[in-house]
Amino acid sequence: MSQEKVFAEWKERESVAESMIPLVGHLYRERNVEISVYGKVIVNRSVIDIIKAHRFARQITGTELSVFDTYPILQALSELNVYAAHVDIGKLAERYAEQGQDQDLLAFLRAELADAPQNSREGQGTDVVLYGFGRIGRLLARILISKTGGGQTMRLRAIVVRKGSADDLVKRASLLRRDSVHGSFRGTITVDEENNAIIANGNVIKVIYADAPDTIDYTSYGISNALVVDNTGKWRDADGLSLHLRATGVARVLLTAPGKGELKNIVMGVNHGDITAEDKILSAASCTTNAIVPVLKAVNDKFGLEYGHVETVHSYTNDQNLIDNYHKADRRGRAAPLNMVITETGAAKAVAKALPELTGKLTGNAIRVPTPNVSMAILNLTLKQDVTKEELNDYLSWMALHSEMQKQIDFSTSPEAVSSDFVGSRAAGVVDGLATIVSGNRCVLYVWYDNEFGYSCQVVRIMQHLTGSTLPVFPKE
């Protein structure tokens, strides 16, 4: 194909992708319909982002998917009476090409979306409070704010912090606006000093100053029956976290760290079915536990797992020192930006809380490395049966595209992928297919994960489950 034809085709694809943006935006804002392409959400995305989402399918399946395939699906979808759903137009286009072309497109979509909600959800939804506003707290705020445009039934109403200085409010807003790892906030942020609030994309977020959870009366801020997300890690067991329940206006508490004692550690997509109405305090486990448990479950379900070792190569965190200084833990006092630091991880033991069938089968350790974000878990596993590299990778790539753990497991086949390429990944973990090693019944899997943003996405998924705001997914597998 000539250079002129290639460029002309590219411009045409750009034009079609540009035409998709208002349709995607209308469906999201007016009907709370979230559009994706093979699980890659294209709400509030640019023309190039939409085209890249279509290319993802080719990377995994080898099959070309173009905006020319999905645009008619999107047009027809806008004519249907569908509300409050997650619709994957990539999968619908593939399914229509395989089995539906002998029927009208609208008729095909009506059949595929027959079980989708037919009207909008009423009510104000659930109030959310972020207790602590550090790395995870600010990323949770960004995600929650981005989702309110679709009328999601969660609203970020307040953050709770200790006042640091006279210009504390301005500094909090500035940290939300700018991030050295994740870039600028997508939208506008203003400071309302009179009402001690941050206004982000139309969301009024009260900033509450408090020294202890049980001293706050949230109802005085118009907040009631709130889901409080504790990002401080100061309290890790049920007794400590119950302080939040003593505050007026709190209904439930979610910890963004591994829970201790009998506290349920939830990995969304794996054991969220264990949550009951009586569970008022829950843990979202750790970033590493979230990264490895879905992959371990997938492998164990298919091939069986005898035992294994998890080695975590983890970015440094605020718990370490910038320069050599005293630290209560061994080695963590050494300068984080200058050293690889061997340290402990509880992730391997924590697996048993989400997957009891793997109790006693895993060991683990960790190495902190001089990168600010994105980590890797190396899973050295002995299986109950022999397997080939192709069989294992084919299975895990299928899980990434078609299984109920699609949002938890992603898959990469790029020969040039490095850690920075996974900044902003929404998956709990991304299997690096080219790095997979298999010999008989032994295998080594390399799983990348954005230990900040990917984990925060998992936390939000638990929040959606707790508040009944998880969107049903179509087409059904």
Return the pLDDT at 392.
98
Give the whole-angstrom CA distance, residue 94 versus residue 115: 20
DSSP secondary structure code for residue 433 in this structure: G
pLDDT at position 123 over 60: no
Return the pLDDT at 124.
63
Give the whole-angstrom CA distance, residue 348 versus residue 364: 5
SS3 assignment, position 350 = helix
Buried b (16+ CB within 10 A) or exposed e, 250-274: bbbbbbbbbbbeebbbbbbbbbbee
Radius of gyration, alpha carbons of the chain:
23
Give the whole-angstrom CA distance, residue 470 versus residue 460: 10
The tokens for 33 are 């319909």
The tokens for 29 are 């804002």
pTM: 0.94
Return the pLDDT at 99.
80
Q: What is the mean pLDDT of residues 238-245?
A: 96
Q: How far is CA 352 from CA 58, 347, 349, in A?
A: 36, 9, 6
Closest CA relative to residue 475, chosen from 87, 70, 139, 173 = 87
Return the pLDDT at 59.
67
Q: Which residue is listed with tokens 């992730």?
A: 347
Return the pLDDT at 65.
87
Return the pLDDT at 63.
72
Inter-residue contact 435 to 413 (CB < 8 Å): no
The 10s digit of each residue's pLDDT in 44-53 is 999 999 999 9
The sign one gets for the Cα dihedral 58, 62, 66, 72 is negative
Q: What is the mean pLDDT of residues 389-408?
A: 95
Give the whole-angstrom CA distance, residue 266 versus residue 127: 21
pLDDT at position 340 over 60: yes
With cut-offs at 50, 70 and 90, classify the pLDDT of residue 122: low
The distance from CA 248 to its chain's CA centroid, rounded to whole angstroms, is: 30
Return the pLDDT at 438.
98
Give the whole-angstrom CA distance, residue 331 versus residue 207: 36
Give the whole-angstrom CA distance, residue 313 versus residue 422: 14
Q: What is the mean pLDDT of residues 427-455?
A: 98
Q: What are phi and psi of 405, to 5 degrees?
A: -100, 25
Residue 287 annotated among the catalytic residues of the structure: yes
Return the pLDDT at 247.
97
The 10s digit of each residue's pLDDT in 461-477 is 999 999 998 999 999 87
Return the pLDDT at 443.
98
Q: Which residue is listed with tokens 């709400």?
A: 43
With cut-offs at 50, 70 and 90, classify the pLDDT of residue 152: low
Return the pLDDT at 97.
87
Residues 6+ apart with CB under 8 A from 209: 160, 161, 162, 163, 168
Give the whole-angstrom CA distance, residue 142 versus residue 134: 12
DSSP string, 301-349: HHH-EEEEEEEEEEE--TTS-SSS---SSSSTTS-TTT--EEE---HHH
CA angle 22, 27, 31 (to 5 degrees): 150
Give the whole-angstrom CA distance, residue 98 versus residue 87: 18
Return the pLDDT at 98.
85
DSSP secondary structure code for residue 278 in this structure: T
pLDDT at position 56 over 90: no
With cut-offs at 50, 70 and 90, classify the pLDDT of residue 189: very high
Name the catalytic one among 287, 376, 379, 443: 287
The tokens for 283 are 């843990």
DSSP string, 374-406: -EEEEEEEEESS---HHHHHHHHHHHHHHSTTT
CA angle 138, 143, 146 (to 5 degrees): 125
Q: How far is CA 341 from CA 316, 321, 370, 386, in A?
A: 9, 11, 9, 35
Return the pLDDT at 4.
85
- Count of residues for the chain? 477
Percent of all residues in the chain with a pLDDT value above 90, rounded to a whole number? 83
Return the pLDDT at 227.
98
Percent of all residues in the chain with a pLDDT value above 70, rounded to a whole number? 97
Closest CA relative to residue 350, chosen from 407, 317, 312, 391 = 312
Mean pLDDT, the chain, rounded, equals 93
The 10s digit of each residue's pLDDT in 156-187 is 999 999 998 889 999 999 999 999 999 999 99
45: left (phi over 0), alpha (psi -120 to 50) or beta: beta
The 10s digit of each residue's pLDDT in 277-291 is 999 999 999 999 999
Give the whole-angstrom CA distance, residue 261 versus residue 282: 11
Return the pLDDT at 164.
86
